[in-house]
Structure formats: C-alpha cells, structure tokens
C-alpha cells in the first residue's frame, strides 16, 4: 500500500491533531507519519511518542496540505462508488448522507453572521434545509412534491456563495464548506452523478477540517467510506450516528439555530440523526408542501408554519386559483362567468372589469370529496394602468387562461402576457384561448410560442358567446388540468388558518371564503 510521508521538521508548520497517540512532540522532533489513503488513518512509524494511545500531535504544512487531502478524499470516494457499482438510488442516498454529515458544521462559528442580517440568515438557512429535503425526496415517491428541485440546488449554491463573500475566519470557511457540501449533494441527486456525490463528500470533510482539525476530517472520511459499504450491503439501519465526531460544533449548531428562531430545525435534525438518517415520509411531504409564499420568508417562517400544523392539525385546502389575463374587450369577464355557469348571460360594455375581480367559485366534482376542487376564478382588467398591480396576484400556484381576440393592433400582446406569467408565475400552466368574433381565424404562431414558452398546454379557438359545445369541451379540459395537478390536491394548511379563512368568508360574502390564504 502506498503511503504519504509527513515529516515534522520543516519550517512554517502548524499543529494539528491526528488519530494515533497522545504525545505532543517537541517542535523540532522528527516524527514521520504515513497516511493510508484506502483507510483514511494516520499512524506513527517512528520517532518519539508512545504507540497505541488515542491521539497525538503532529506537524504539517499550513498551505496546500488540506487542499491535497480533499482532492485525495474526492478521488477515493469516486473510485469506491465505481468499485461498488452503486445504482441510482444508492448514489442519491449517499448524497443525502454527505449533506447531513456536513450540516452541523454550519454552526462552527457560533453564529451565522457570515450571511448578513437576520432576514438574510433565515433565507439562506432555508435554502440549505430545503435542498436537503429535496435530496431526500429523490429516493421516495415525493419528488413531485419538491416542485422545483433545480431551484433548490441553485438556492443552496447561492447560500454557499454568500458565505464565501463573508469574513475569511476559519470557522466561517467551515460553514461555507458545509453549505457547499449540501449544494453538491443536491446536484448529485438531481443528475445521479457519482462525481458530484464524491465532491459533496470532499466538501463535508473540508468543513470538518476547517471547523476542528484534520483528524476529524479523516474520521469523517472514514464514516463516509463506511456509509458506502452499508449502502452497498443494504444495511440502512446501521449507519454510524455518533455525534462525538462533531465535538463542540454540534452544541454550537443547536444554539445558533435557537438564537435565530429556528429551534424547530435543530430538533428535526437531532431526530434524524437519532433515527440513523431516516426521514419520516409524512413530515418530509409536509415540509415540501409548505406554500412558496411562506418559504420565501425563510427558515423561521417555515418553522413557525410547521409548528402551527403540529399544534392545531391540518386541513386539506383542495382549492385552485384560475387567473384570466388578456387585453380589454377580449372576453375575459364573459369566460369567467361561463366557466362557473355555462348559461350565464354575456356581459355588457358597461360591465368592463376595473382592477382585479373575483368571479366566484367553480366547484369541480371528483370521484370523492378529497378529489373535488374548488376553483376561484380571477378576472384581471386589461387596462394598461393596472398591469403593474398584477404582479401582486400572479404566482406559480395558479392556472392561467390567456384570452386573445385577434383584432387588436398590438400583434405582440400574446407574448406580452406570457412574459407576465413567466416572470411571476414560473412554469405555471397556461391555456391560450383565441375568442373568435367572426369566421376569421387569427394567425397565431403556435409552434414558435410553444418553443419559447413551454408551459403553454394548448391553443383553443372558439367563440365564447356562440360556441356552446366548444365552451363545454374547454371547461372539461380546464377541469381535468386542475384535477390532475397535485399541487392543489396536496395542499394542507394549519387547521387554525382554515378556521380563520372560513370565518372571513362568512363575514364578507356569507359563504365559505374560497380565496387563497396568501
């Protein structure tokens, strides 16, 4: 076996701890060591000091040693994954372990000041926590609940980048490496990449080295190698969950989470460690299904929301929001009325919508009460002066219907509204309805628009006023799209929120208030 010889007689050296013996050599005492790459241990091969004792101090070059050690760790892990011939699910699970083992090193400094103010701290923390949940969702049936795994990975990477720009103190560098490990784990899970999983493992050991010392990095490396073997054996209940490797860091991690109002997350991760890194599927789904508007506020807001769910229970919301967009006079209000009631009268010119108006609730039946959905129809005014206000209502959790009459002089109006949806609604589905006022069929570049806006589900052409059969087909297509989208059937809110929502409905319009809760 090849070994790396480290001699402690050179100048410009610093002390670090390593597993072997506990004697600390004099500064000029030559005590050569060897590093065994396949095992990740350091042993004494001569010089002063007693053999067999638990720790001793050796000297090593300050610059470059840990960098080369991290590269060596990366290569070894990558080779080990290839040697074991792990499948996709096993690589993803290993990525999760890398993220979890690195996570406590976020608290190395005893604070999160490297992320700026409290608002920024909780947002970056949530980016890291959510990335771990998304990684966990890949080897379950919950990947759909994660919704935007690419965004979660990117947010975790930004969190690591934000820490990089902060104070260069060693403990802060450890936190940066921990965040980087989580981001790399998310990338590895998304692409099922052994190389990226190995990078996540290397970042985790780098965090350990910077938080404590090289010996802890080597010990963590050993644990990760054991993790690979356990995964290959299918021994998922035998992962080493001993917290002693973190020394003071674990206590720091729990304390700083509590200091920023995120004690919920500290308790969660303590439970996950106790359960040998198994995630409770129901709790994981609950975290993944937190509304985006809550997630945007950061880890504390998400924790508060989830604690409300635990305290008061939850209710299925089973509500969808349908937003109708388009120019003034395109037929939006007529469509809104006839989605709810196909026999509703057409609007008069004097009834043009001003601002934003709710046109009632479309009750879409399902096979049972749980699959039924209440769709709130929102009609947005087409006046240019109101367009700036639309961003206050548009979100990813909607179905959009773009009504176009083909008679306007603004040939680019379809793209104008689709840009609105992309900017504020993400990849939310869109139905484009061309409201025909005569026999002329407008020239709509469907293929070009679908390439540019892949979230378009279909183009429909009929007269809202006259084509009753086509209107009914459109209603059926829209209701099927709503029912088939698990976003609405999966949504739960705290029972206390649900009571307030219904009380407001009774107060304002004498019926259950079916508007969204955000």
* Predicted pLDDT at 274: 95
Query: Which tens digit of pLDDT belongs to each residue from 229-251?
Result: 999 999 999 999 999 999 999 99
* Partners of 316 in beta bridges: 492
Q: How far is CA 324 from CA 302, 333, 479, 507, in A?
A: 30, 8, 15, 26
Whether pLDDT at 283 is above 70: yes
Mean pLDDT of the chain: 75
Q: Which CATH class is domain 319-491?
A: alpha beta
| Domain-wise residue ranges, the chain | 4-61, 65-281, 319-491
List the 319-326 sheet strands across, edge first. Answer: 356-364, 373-380, 319-326, 399-404, 430-435, 456-462
Round to whole Å and give the CA distance between 145 and 28: 59
Q: What is the pTM of this model?
A: 0.69
Task: Provide φ and ψ at 319, rounded to 5°.
Answer: -130, 145
Please check whether residue 328 is in contact with residue 382, taking contact to mean a CB–CB distance below 8 angstroms: yes
Residue 422 pLDDT grade (very low, low, confident, very high; cuts 50, 70, 90)? confident
Residue 501 pLDDT grade (very low, low, confident, very high; cuts 50, 70, 90)? low
* Predicted pLDDT at 176: 85
Torsion of Cα atoms, 232 then 237 then 243 then 245, to 10°: -20
Residue 392 pLDDT grade (very low, low, confident, very high; cuts 50, 70, 90)? low
Range with the largest mean pLDDT of 52-61, 316-325, 395-404: 395-404
In sequence order, what are the residues at sequence separation of 6 or more whose Cβ sits closer than 8 angstroms to the Cβ of residue 512? 502, 505, 506
Between helix 65-84 and helix 88-102 the angle, nearest 10°, is 150
Q: Which residue has the higher pLDDT, 139 or 346?
A: 346
Parallel/antiparallel/unpaired status of strands 356-364 and 373-380: antiparallel
Instruction: Tell me which residue has tokens 């936190």.
Output: 175
Whether pLDDT at 22 is above 90: no
In sequence order, what are the residues at sequence separation of 6 or more whose Cβ sits closer than 8 angstroms to the Cβ of residue 210? 66, 105, 108, 170, 171, 173, 174, 177
* Predicted pLDDT at 258: 94
Please give, one letter per residue, the 3-state secondary structure of 369-389: CCCCEEEEEEEECCCHHHHHH
Round to whole Å and give the CA distance between 396 and 421: 9
Residue 518 pLDDT grade (very low, low, confident, very high; cuts 50, 70, 90)? very low
* Partners of 17 in beta bridges: 57
Query: Which tens digit of pLDDT belongs to each residue from 103-119?
Result: 999 998 888 988 877 77
* Predicted pLDDT at 51: 36
Sign of the alpha-carbon torsion through 334, 337, 338, 342: negative
Please give, one letter per residue, the 3-state secondary structure of 142-164: CHHHHCCHHHHHHHHHHHHHHHH
Q: Assign 3-state DSSP to the chain and report helix, strand, coil percentages, each to 5.
A: 55, 15, 30
Residue 219: how many other CB atoms lie within 10 Å = 20
Question: What is the rounded average pLDDT of the residues 395-413?
Answer: 75
Question: What is the rounded average pLDDT of the residues 211-226?
Answer: 87
Percentage of residues in the chain having pLDDT higher than 70: 67
Mind giving me the DSSP string for 151-204? HHHHHHHHHHHHHHTS---HHHHHHHHHHHHHHHHHHHHHHT-HHHHHHHHHHH
Please check whether residue 108 is in contact with residue 171, taking contact to mean a CB–CB distance below 8 angstroms: yes
Whether pLDDT at 292 is above 90: no
Round to whole Å and give the CA distance between 223 and 201: 10
CA 31 vs. chain centroid, Å, equals 48
Task: Provide φ and ψ at 352, rounded to 5°.
Answer: -60, 135
Whether pLDDT at 67 is above 90: no
Task: Provide φ and ψ at 399, rounded to 5°.
Answer: -110, 130
Q: Report which DSSP code applies to 4.
A: E
Q: Under the phi-then-psi rule, with left for phi > 0, alpha for psi from -120 to 50, and beta for the rest, what region is 193?
A: beta
Residue 18 pLDDT grade (very low, low, confident, very high; cuts 50, 70, 90)? very low
Whether pLDDT at 455 is above 60: yes
Structure tokens at 517: 């809760």
């Amino acid at each position: 076996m090849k070994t790396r010889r480290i001699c402690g007689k050179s100048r410009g050296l610093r002390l670090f701890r390593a597993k072997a013996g506990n004697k600390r050599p004099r500064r000029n005492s030559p005590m050569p060591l060897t590093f065994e790459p396949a095992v990740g241990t350091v042993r004494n091969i001569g010089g002063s000091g007693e053999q067999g004792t638990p720790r001793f101090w050796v000297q090593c070059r300050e610059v470059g040693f840990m960098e080369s050690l991290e590269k060596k760790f990366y290569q070894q892990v990558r080779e080990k994954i290839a040697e074991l011939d792990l499948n996709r699910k096993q690589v993803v699970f290993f990525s999760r372990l890398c993220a979890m083992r690195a996570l406590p090193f976020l608290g190395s400094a005893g604070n999160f000041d490297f992320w700026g103010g409290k608002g920024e701290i909780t947002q970056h923390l949530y980016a890291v926590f959510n990335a771990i949940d998304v990684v966990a969702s890949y080897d379950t049936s919950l990947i759909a609940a994660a919704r935007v795994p690419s965004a979660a990975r990117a947010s975790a990477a930004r969190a690591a980048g934000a820490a990089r720009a902060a104070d260069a103190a060693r403990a802060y560098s450890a936190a940066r490496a921990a965040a980087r490990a989580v981001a790399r784990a998310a990338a590895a899970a998304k692409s099922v990449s052994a190389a990226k999983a190995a990078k996540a493992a290397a970042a985790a050991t780098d965090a350990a080295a910077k938080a404590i010392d090289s010996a802890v990095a080597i010990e963590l490396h050993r644990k990760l190698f054991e993790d690979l073997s356990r995964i290959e054996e299918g021994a998922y209940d035998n992962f080493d969950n001993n917290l002693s490797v973190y020394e003071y860091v674990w206590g720091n991690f729990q304390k700083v989470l509590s200091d920023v109002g995120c004690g919920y997350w500290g308790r969660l991760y303590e439970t996950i460690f106790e359960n040998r890194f198994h995630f409770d599927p129901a709790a994981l789904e609950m975290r993944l299904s937190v509304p985006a508007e809550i997630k945007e506020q950061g880890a504390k807001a998400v924790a508060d929301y989830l604690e409300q769910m635990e305290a008061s229970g939850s209710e299925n919301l089973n509500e969808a929001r349908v937003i109708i967009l388009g120019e003034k006079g395109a037929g939006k209000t007529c469509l809104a009325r006839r989605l709810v009631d196909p026999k509703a009268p057409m609007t008069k010119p004097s009834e043009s919508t001003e601002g934003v108006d709710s046109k009632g609730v479309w009750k879409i039946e399902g096979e049972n009460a749980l699959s039924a959905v209440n769709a709130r129809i929102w009609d947005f005014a087409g006046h240019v002066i109101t367009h700036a206000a639309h961003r206050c209502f548009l979100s990813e959790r909607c179905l959009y219907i773009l009504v176009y009459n083909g008679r306007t002089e603004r040939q680019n109006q379809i793209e104008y509204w689709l840009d609105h949806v992309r900017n504020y609604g993400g990849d939310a589905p869109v139905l484009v309805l061309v409201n025909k006022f005569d026999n002329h069929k407008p020239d709509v570049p469907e293929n070009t628009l679908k390439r540019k806006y892949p979230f378009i589900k279909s183009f429909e052409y009929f007269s809202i006023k006259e084509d009753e059969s086509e209107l009914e087909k459109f209603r059926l297509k829209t209701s099927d799209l709503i029912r088939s989208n698990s976003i609405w059937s999966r949504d739960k809110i705290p029972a206390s929120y649900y009571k307030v929502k219904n009380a407001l409905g009774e107060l304002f319009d004498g019926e259950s208030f079916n508007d969204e809760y955000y």
